[in-house]
Amino acid sequence: MTKKRTIYNIAKELNLAPGTISKVINQTGNVSLKTRERVLAYIKEVGYVPNNSARMLKSKRTYTVGIVFTEESDVGLEHSFFSSILQHFKTYVELQGYELSFIVKKLGQHELSYLEWCMNKRVDGVYIVVGNYNDKGLYELIESPIPAVSTDMLVPGLHTVVSDNELGMKLIFDYIKDQLHAKKLAFISGPKTSKAFNERVEAYHKFVNTYEMTNIIDVIYAESFGFTSGYNAVLELAKHVTQMPECILVASDDIALGVLKGLKDLGIKVPEQVGVIGFDDIAFAKHFTPSLTTIRQDRKSLGETAAKLLLELIENPHEDIEEVVKLPVELIVRDSTRKK
């Protein structure tokens, strides 16, 4: 008996991902012309007839996941940390036969809320990659019947996968106490609109007291999530202190790389005069000069866990599923800190 052809065995026969076959059949996504022609030629050769419509009618699903980057957060697809998590999320859901659809408030002349767009596109679920707590449209979406997950926002009713920020800060303080033997610290955070940054600030204050260290200045908040904001923040720090701290903790690597450049332009040597520790372990952190000591978040695990969680919510809507999943982190020691 001839085995029924599906996008999965076609993908295996062509040594491609099922998601790629799906994109070609449905004329969505980015697929090279060469690959598209190869897939179409093969489908024609073997006489495969797509049964996506039958699948959708049978299950009442569209096998589409909506992707939201809230526009008020000033974080785009170029952001190295969030884009990496999204890529791992995308890879996982596409292997399960789902496609992605980016949800925006305005498309051409058409302006709708996130929820209205999601209903218009009939998405089965939503992944909020980055969310702004002041964006009312997100709360409307979260409170709707559409399953939603995030790797950024912590809101009652929203299923979220995050790294253990307090554990990360504890690892930093253990290292400072046991290896750097530093006492005078400063902390540069990202915007207050980020729950992750707020958690790291809270943990910083907690451990400054627990480890009996000196916070030489109140927390400085960078104006945004990127390199330039870190550069400006460390210049601001330098204006308000008579003596620089022994170590500057920074709430993200993108901001920390700006801090390193700012210290260099101020004529302050890292790590000889000031140590710098980031948070995230973005790809460029190990290639910067000096390379950045940081807390590594497992971006692959964050993306895949969020994907598994969302698909579980879609496929088993009546199950009691844990609302917040915290993943472990680890300290990566590089050249921006020096043992005493």
Q: pLDDT, tens digit, for every residue of 22-32?
A: 778 776 667 88
What local confidence, expressed as pLDDT, does residue 71 receive?
A: 55
Q: Domains of the chain: which residue ranges?
A: 7-53, 58-161+301-326, 165-297
Query: Is the model more confident about 80 or about 168?
Result: 168
Per-residue model confidence as pLDDT tens digits over 167-196? 999 999 999 999 999 999 999 999 988 889
* DSSP-derived 3-state class of residue 254: helix
Cα 189 to the chain's mean position, in Å?
A: 17
Backbone angles phi, psi at 262, to 5 degrees: -65, -40
Q: Pick 165-297's CATH classification: 3.20.20.70, 3.30.70.3420, 3.40.50.2300, 3.40.640.10.
A: 3.40.50.2300
Confidence of residue 252 (pLDDT cuts 50, 70, 90): very high
What local confidence, expressed as pLDDT, does residue 141 receive?
A: 94
What local confidence, expressed as pLDDT, does residue 57 receive?
A: 45
Residue 56 burial (C-beta neighbours within 10 Å; 0-12, 13-18, 19+): middle
**In this model, does residue 96 exceed pLDDT 50?**
yes
Instruction: Give this prediction's pTM.
Output: 0.77
**Alpha carbon distance 273, 278 (integer Å):** 17
Q: Which residues contact 203 (CB under 8 A, 6 or more apart)?
A: 165, 166, 168, 169, 170
Backbone angles phi, psi at 188, to 5 degrees: -115, 115
Closest by CA position to 64, among listed 108, 117, 111:
117
- Integer CA distances (angstroms), 110 to 98, 106, 116, 117, 131, in order: 25, 6, 11, 10, 22
The chain-wide mean pLDDT, for the chain, equals 89
What local confidence, expressed as pLDDT, does residue 330 receive?
A: 98
Q: What is the arithmetic mean of pLDDT over 276-288?
A: 95
What local confidence, expressed as pLDDT, does residue 50 receive?
A: 61
Q: What is the arithmetic mean of pLDDT over 2-12?
A: 75
Same fold, 7-53 and 165-297: no
What local confidence, expressed as pLDDT, does residue 28 receive?
A: 66
To which CATH superfamily is domain 58-161+301-326 assigned? Answer: Response regulator (3.40.50.2300)
How many Cβ atoms sit within 10 Å of the Cβ of residue 218? Answer: 10
Confidence of residue 107 (pLDDT cuts 50, 70, 90): low
Write down the CATH number for the domain with range 7-53: 1.10.260.40
